[in-house]
Amino acid sequence: MKITNFEQLPLSAPIQRALAEKGYTKPSQIQARAIPVLLKDRDLLACAQTGTGKTAAFALPLLHKLSQSNRKPFRRGVRHLVLTPTRELASQVAESFKVYGQYVEFQYGLVYGGVSEKPQIKQLFKGLDILVACPGRLIDLMEQGHVDLSQVETFILDEADRMLDMGFIRDIRKIEGKLPKERQTLLFSATMASEITKLGQAMLHRPEEIRIAPQGTTAEKINQSVCFIAKGAKQKYILELLKQHVEENPRELTLIFTRTKHGAKHLAKKFNQEGLIADSIHGNKSQNAREKTLERYRQGEIDILVATDVAARGIDVKNITLVINFDLPMESDAYVHRIGRTARAGESGQAISFCSLEEVALLRQVERLIKKPVPVLRDQPYHEQDIEDLHLSDRPVKKPAQGGGNRQRRGKPSNNSGNHSRSNFRGKSGGNSGSQSNSRANKANKSNRTQRNRNR
Ligand code: ADP
Ligand code: MG
């Protein structure tokens, strides 16, 4: 049977009511396929691109089960555990549970680093039906004996690919080690890298597999383009672009990605000096400040948000119609996630990427992942044919050094094709997007975790 509306799914009345109020009528593809599987208590390995409604795909069946049972959580116990890579995503997922579950009685809690442990410990003490957590802080609290995972019924890994990219594999395995063998496990990911499949094999029991889009496919409705531009001209051009965009589309939001925290901060400041309304979120900002900024952005009080990858992951804000990659990401997967911040829930959007001479290797990597060339915007005042030629040539190019991508160095852009970089981008801290990927994976001790949290 083809499922075309939520009423066809055996979800209880309180859930149906919340969905109707939220204005959802038609389940997305992943929802239509995953919900029946999850209601049957099967394990699931699911891959669908960002913005396709994965949260509700796992939240609805879980809430349904909660609405059908009157088992209560016990002291310090957790019945259903959701792991997410970042704090922003954790709060967003918790918020979704709240909305979809507004007519279901349940206790939920949120656990992430960067804020005081005390209120989190207090929440845990009472026992929770649902806990949404980031791995680092959860392990800290676990080790201090504040949470008991021995009776978890459902274990959900959201954005599993990103968690692996961020070096959380050890933490995930450690947490998994505390869970009962008898449980339901779900793994959600936007991309299906081989590490994800491996993780799935290790943790899932005879899972059902659902793949909605092939690996790396970018949302179809996003109009993508790349501008070949000298590094030194990027700032000037982005200002021109933004001024025009804000004037023509005053009610729409723009999201800009930079490689470094410094770059994000600097750009937002520059925009404000030029009369644009902008702010930034990055790992150097406190959790509170980040959330406040996000909320203002969501409310439309800020037109332009400049973010680093880590801070922006999973952000679901309506009305973002333009995403600009001021710097291309070091990891190609991040490209798909970044541009997926626009064209949410079936809307359309535009994604423009700046590619300087130093970034040609990154663009090639993106195109390999999405399996098609990004259309070139030649009709722009700073177009550099040399960079495009290099991109199209067979000449080898190196990745730039992590962290140095968008510091606004004055002076002429370098003229050699990036071979000054000694590809040390994984070694140093200071980077905040991909720097943890493989690096300390074999030494996930506490100080590393703390360091990671600081980097965010
Ligand atoms: P993903 O986790 O796959 O990136 P999300 O779960 O964050 O996607 O959902 C993306 C957006 O789509 C959210 O704004 C959500 O409210 C909306 N959405 C999800 N499911 C539906 C639906 N069935 N109908 C309408 N909107 C939906
Ligand atoms: Mg998601």
Which atom of ligand 1 has the smallest separation from the CA of 24? Answer: 24
Atom of ligand 1 nearest to the CA of 26: 23
Task: Please check whether residue 96 lies inside any domain of the structure.
Answer: yes
For residue 48, the ligand closest to its alpha carbon is 1
Confidence of residue 97 (pLDDT cuts 50, 70, 90): very high
Q: Is residue 78 part of a domain?
A: yes
Predicted pLDDT of residue 219: 59
In-domain check, residue 175: yes
Q: Is the pLDDT of residue 453 over 60?
A: no
| Same domain flag for 151 and 10 | yes
**Residue range 105-116: average pLDDT?**
95
The pLDDT of residue 283 is 83
Position 397 in a domain: no
The pLDDT, as a whole number, for residue 193 is 78
**DSSP code for 424:** -
Atom of ligand 1 at shortest distance to CA of 30? 3
Mean pLDDT throughout 414-430?
A: 32
Q: 368-394 in b/e burial notation, b at 16+ Cβ within 10 A?
A: ebbeeebebeeeeeebbeebbebbeee
Mutate to test the pocket of ligand 1, among 47, 52, 98 (most ligand atoms within 8 A of CB): 52
Q: Is the pLDDT of residue 69 over 80?
A: yes
Q: Looking at the structure, do residues 417 and 441 belong to the same domain, yes or no?
A: yes
- Does 50 contact ligand 1 (Cβ within 6 A)? yes
Identify whether the C-beta of residue 270 lies closer than 8 Å to the C-beta of residue 235.
yes
What is the C-alpha R_g of the chain? 22
Neighbours of 22 (CB within 10 A): 13
Q: Which residue has the higher pLDDT, 363 or 455?
A: 363
Q: How far apart are CA 109 and CA 127, in angstroms?
A: 9
Is 255 within the bounds of a domain? Answer: yes
Would you place residue 313 in the very low, low, confident or very high pLDDT band (cuts 50, 70, 90)? low
Ligand nearest to the CA of 3: 1
**Residue with the two structure tokens 């997967």:** 333
Which of 119-128, 215-224, 301-310, 326-335 has maximum average pLDDT?
119-128
Residue 143 placed within a domain: yes
- Cα separation, 295 vs 289, in Å, equals 10
From ligand 1's centre to the CA of 54, what distance in Å?
7
pLDDT of residue 391: 96
Rounded Cα distance between 10 and 36, Å, is 8
Ligand 1 centroid distance, CA of 27 (Å):
9
**Helix intervals (H) in 153-276:** 160-165, 169-177, 194-203, 234-248, 261-273
**Is there a single domain that holds both residue 246 and residue 147?**
no
- My answer on whether 149 and 207 are in the same domain is yes
Q: Which of 153, 188, 211 is the last residue of a domain?
A: 211
- Do residue 176 and residue 284 come from a single domain? no
Tell me, yes or no, if the pTM score tops 0.75: no
Q: Is the pLDDT of residue 52 over 80?
A: yes
What does the pLDDT average to over 32-56? 92
Distance from chain centroid for Cα 117: 24
Cα of 55 vs centre of ligand 2, distance in Å, is 5
Helices 194-203 + 169-177 axis angle, to 10? 10
Same domain, yes or no, for 141 and 161?
Answer: yes
Whether the pLDDT of residue 159 is over 60: the answer is: yes
Distance 159 CA to ligand 2 centre (A): 6
Would you say 413 and 232 are in contact if contact means Cβ atoms under 8 Å apart? yes
| pLDDT at residue 455 greater than cutoff 70 | no
Domain that holds residue 231: 222-392
CA of 159 to the centre of ligand 1 (A): 14
- One domain for residues 289 and 388: yes
The reported pLDDT for the residue numbered 342 is: 82
**Among candidate residues 158, 187, 211, the one where a domain is terminated:** 211
The predicted model gives 188-200 an average pLDDT of: 86
Q: Are 79 and 130 in contact (CB under 8 A)?
A: yes
The H-assigned helical ranges of 69-193 are 87-100, 118-126, 135-143, 160-165, 169-177
Q: What is the mean pLDDT of residues 272-284?
A: 93
Cβ atoms of residues 441 and 167 within 8 Å: yes
Tens digit of each residue's pLDDT (9 = 90 or more) over 122-142: 999 999 999 999 999 999 999
Q: Are residues 68 and 186 in the same domain?
A: yes
> Which residues 6+ apart lie within 8 Å of 349 measured at CB?
221, 222, 223, 320, 321, 322, 323, 339, 342, 343
Q: Which of 213, 224, 230, 197 is nearest to 367 (CA)?
A: 224
Residue nearest to atom 1 of ligand 1 (CA): 51
Whether 420 has a pLDDT exceeding 80, the answer reads no
Banded pLDDT at 399 (limits 50, 70, 90): confident
Q: Are residues 15 and 151 in the same domain?
A: yes
Grouping H, G, I as helix, E, B as strand and the rest as coil, residue 160 is: helix
Whether 195 and 54 map to the same domain: the answer is yes
What average pLDDT score do residues 387-406 get?
80
Same domain flag for 175 and 252: no
Mutate which of 30, 50, 55 for ligand 1 pocket (most atoms within 8 A of beta carbon): 55
pLDDT at 182 over 80: yes
Q: What is the mean pLDDT of the chain?
A: 84
Whether 53 lines ligand 1, by a CB cut-off of 6 Å, is: yes
| Mean pLDDT confidence for 25-53 | 92
Cβ atoms 219, 375 nearer than 8 A: no
Q: What is the pLDDT of residue 422?
A: 29
Q: Is pLDDT of 289 > 70? A: yes
Residue 46 backbone phi and psi in degrees, to 5: -125, 135
Last residue of a domain, one of 163, 180, 211: 211
**What gap in Å lies between CA 158 and CA 135, rounded to an integer?**
11
Tell me whether strands 208-211 and 154-157 are parallel, antiparallel or unpaired.
Answer: unpaired
What per-residue confidence (pLDDT) applies to 426? 28
User: Which atom of ligand 1 lies nearest, measured to the CA of 96?
Assistant: 16
Q: Which residues of 283-318 are buried (b: 16+ CB within 10 A; e: fewer)?
A: bbbebeebbebbeebbeeebbbbbbbbbbbbbbbbe
Number of domains into which the chain is organized = 3
**Atom 10 of ligand 1 has which residue's CA nearest to it?**
51
316 CB within 6 A, ligand 1: yes
155 and 297 assigned to the same domain? no
Q: How far does the centroid of ligand 1 lie from the alpha carbon of residue 78, in Å?
A: 26
The proportion of the chain whose per-residue pLDDT surpasses 90, expressed as a percent, equals 62
Q: Does residue 1 lie within any of the structural domains?
A: no
Which phi and psi angles does 324 have, rounded to 5°?
Answer: -120, 125
Q: For position 277, which CATH number holds? A: 3.40.50.300
Check if 52 has its Cβ closer than 6 Å to any atom of ligand 1.
Answer: yes
pLDDT at 3: 78
216 domain residue, yes or no = no
Indicate which ligand has the atom closest to the C-alpha of 46: 1
Q: What is the helix (H) or strand (E) element at residue 225, kind and residue range?
A: strand 222-228
Q: Would you say the CB of residue 55 lies under 6 angstroms from ligand 1?
A: yes
